[in-house]
Structure 1
Amino acid sequence: RGGKPAAKPPAPEQAPLPPLPPLPPKWSEAELAAMNDLRHALEPEISHAVPFPEVVGERRLMRYLRGHKLDVAACSEKMRRMLVWRKEAGIDAIRADIISSRITGPQSLPRYEDMHSIYPIYLPSRRCVDLKGNLVTIERFAFSVEQALHVLGPEDILQYHFYVMELKTLILERLCDDMDAERAAAMRRGEADAFPAEGEGWGALARLNVIRDFKGLQLGALTNSTCRALILDIVKSTSDYYPELMASCAMINVPQIFSGAWRVIRNVCEKATVEKISIVGRNFVPELLKRANPDPNPNPNPKPDP
């Protein structure tokens, strides 16, 4: 009585939680082998490149590899050209400016007011996906060439385009980060449908469903030599240096005058790029409805296009 209460016995030590089992590889065995070979082949170039993950990380390597059927020799040559081009064309500086200036949409881009009037773009958003989970992006090409070139030089238009491409790349990269984190968490919870089939990987490689609207396209866009050269430059550099960003592309409201130009344009594109493009014309609604759900409240978690 009156003394100090007896000390409580120490709580029994809890047994440590068992370690989590390792996750299956993010990429298939063949893809991992090709990626390691490609990284080794590009070791000098990558070591001197700005270490942007969406430029020299595993997903960019995988985009090149999947776009060229795991041909390491072809991919290494194309990536070398891409890294040189990024430095010479100032693309690394554009990417750095997007981050440092906290640019999240085209309205913050240089010359936006001038460009938006001639080249309206709707950036991909997680709120707008097709039936395969690809983000939808829309581009419109109705403008007067003479008016556009009076206000903007070809270099301004080209710079704006690559700002947009870098934004799209960053949007996809962040989506892939989130998709990988969510799937890894689901596998750790033991959700059976989160695990890949035997021999397959599970790493996300999100892509775009591109809709290009040519309604109002004027003949001058194809006959003006400056404009024609600019279009070819944009098409070729996008095809060469942004591989496998596009899952599909529907060209809608395409006028008859475009058919001749398309025969020229397709020759500067990668074969894999051309195969993803369909020219729909004016009766495009039924075709687009096969790809995207008009429901304003679609399934928020569609399975991504592999």
Structure 2
Amino acid sequence: MEKNQEIALTRMRKSVEKLGGSAGEYGDPTLMRFLIARSMDSDKAAKMFVQWQKWRAKLVPLGFIPDSDVPDELEARKIYLQGLSKNGYPVMIVKGSKHFPSKDQLQFKKYVVHVLDKTIASSFKGGEIGNEKLIGILDLQQITYKNIDARALITGFQFLQAYYPERLAKCFILNMPRFFVSVWRMVSYFLEKATLEKIVIVSNEDERREFIKEIGEDALPEEYGGWTKLVAIQNVVLIQLED
């Protein structure tokens, strides 16, 4: 680790304590995510970290969201967890045509946490290191106006930005229909530049080949050019989530 990173980490830990938080149980890789997200500004990173701790304590008091807290969202079977990409990132697929705006926003927010936590945990080899990332695939095949939910997209990306800094390796958007372009333009307004730079809209065959090459056929279902079957996230059992 470079000297300036060590200094920034030391300053961040002290700043976290001044703000009433605690970074003692977290390793450097976890804190570095917050520092990177705040351009290595120790005070801003500490503020973000403490806000994250308070948010987790309130929304995720058990440390994870059990299936029983998000039954309606799981019933839709709209999110799939497909193993690891070539770079070792867990691959999560969202089927837009199976999503409908939620009547229970608290349950939806918990569902976002449930999905992100479980996806990240699926890449753990033993314990968590703290710098694990994920790849998201948003498939908009066969979506209709009834499936459009800008609020849900904004919530998902804002959670990633505010509470899962540097967890997103890349997000691929597939099969975007023309009528969705204006929706995406609105959603993009709420995204940080660093997030937008990780989003790839796959719109031609060359980009599709690059998408398959980057993720790997072992992690992609057959319908996306790979060799595997779709696996609903609730059918994936992770021992780590119960520890």
TM range (shorter): 0.7 to 0.9
**Structure 1 residue runs of 4 or more that deviate by more than 6 Å after TM superposition:** none
| 1:262 counterpart SS class | helix
Would you say 1:65 and 2:35 are equivalent positions? yes
> With structure 1 as the length reference, what TM-score do the two structures score?
0.61
1:81-119 CA-partner distances (Å, limit 9, x unpaired): 22232234x12x152565xxxxxxxxx45344x424535
Given that residues 212 and 249 in structure 1 are in contact (C-alpha distance below 8 angstroms), is that contact kept between their aligned partners in structure 2? Answer: yes
Given that residues 139 and 175 in structure 2 are in contact (C-alpha distance below 8 angstroms), is that contact kept between their aligned partners in structure 1? Answer: yes
TM-fit CA distance, 1:262: 1.6
Question: Partners of 2:9 and 2:91 in 1: how far apart?
Answer: 28
Alignment match, 1:220:
146
Would you say 1:33 and 2:3 are equivalent positions? no
Given that residues 124 and 136 in structure 1 are in contact (C-alpha distance below 8 angstroms), is that contact kept between their aligned partners in structure 2? Answer: yes
Would you say 1:207 and 2:133 are equivalent positions? yes
Would you say 1:289 and 2:212 are equivalent positions? yes
Larger radius of gyration: 1
| 2:50 counterpart SS class | helix
The percentage of aligned residue pairs carrying the same residue is: 22
Would you say 1:78 and 2:48 are equivalent positions? yes
TM-fit CA distance, 1:124: 5.6
| 2:171 counterpart SS class | strand
Unpaired segments ≥5 residues, structure 1 = 1-26, 99-107, 181-203, 297-306
Question: Partners of 1:87 and 1:205 in 2: how far apart?
Answer: 21
Question: Partners of 1:234 and 1:121 in 2: how far apart?
Answer: 13
Would you say 1:141 and 2:96 are equivalent positions? yes
| 2:91 counterpart SS class | strand
Alignment match, 2:227:
none
Alignment match, 2:21:
46
1:215-249 CA-partner distances (Å, limit 9, x unpaired): 12222343xxxx43343233212221101111111
| 1:268 counterpart SS class | coil
TM-fit CA distance, 1:282: 6.6
Letter of the 1:276 counterpart: K
Given that residues 235 and 265 in structure 1 are in contact (C-alpha distance below 8 angstroms), is that contact kept between their aligned partners in structure 2? Answer: no
RMSD: 2.9
Letter of the 1:271 counterpart: K
Residues 1:97 and 1:142: Cα distance change in structure 2 (over 3 Å): closer
Given that residues 59 and 205 in structure 1 are in contact (C-alpha distance below 8 angstroms), is that contact kept between their aligned partners in structure 2? Answer: yes
Question: Partners of 2:112 and 2:99 in 1: how far apart?
Answer: 18
| 1:158 counterpart SS class | helix
| 2:165 counterpart SS class | coil
